């Protein structure tokens, strides 16, 4: 996710608590969605779609933080 910001992501994960929480939550959702899609964890199509939307919102928030941090 966001390879052009790899260094900045590493920096923000240690210096920005809010960013780190959002990043971890995004990764947790991604893993959960994958487990549901693979049938490892139970989940309906609707539940998976809801989680995907939540993950996308987190990704948008992360991108906004990255853009602002890169501009400084």
Identify the band that residue 1 occupies on the pLDDT scale cut at 50, 70 and 90.
Answer: confident
What DSSP state is assigned to residue 1? -
Query: Nearest 10 degrees: CA dihedral of 15, 17, 27, 56?
Result: -110
pLDDT of residue 61: 98
Given a cut of 90, is residue 45 above it in pLDDT?
Answer: yes
Residue 24 domain boundaries: 5-71
Q: What is the pLDDT of residues 46-70, one digit of tens each?
A: 999 999 999 999 999 999 999 999 9
28: tokens are 């947790």
Number of domains into which the chain is organized: 1
């Amino acid at each position: 996710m966001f390879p052009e910001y790899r260094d900045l992501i590493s920096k923000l994960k240690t210096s920005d608590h809010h960013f780190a929480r959002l990043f971890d939550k995004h990764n947790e959702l991604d893993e959960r969605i994958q487990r549901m899609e693979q049938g490892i964890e139970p989940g309906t199509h609707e539940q998976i779609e809801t989680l995907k939307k939540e993950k996308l919102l987190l990704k948008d928030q992360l991108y906004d933080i990255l853009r602002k941090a890169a501009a400084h």
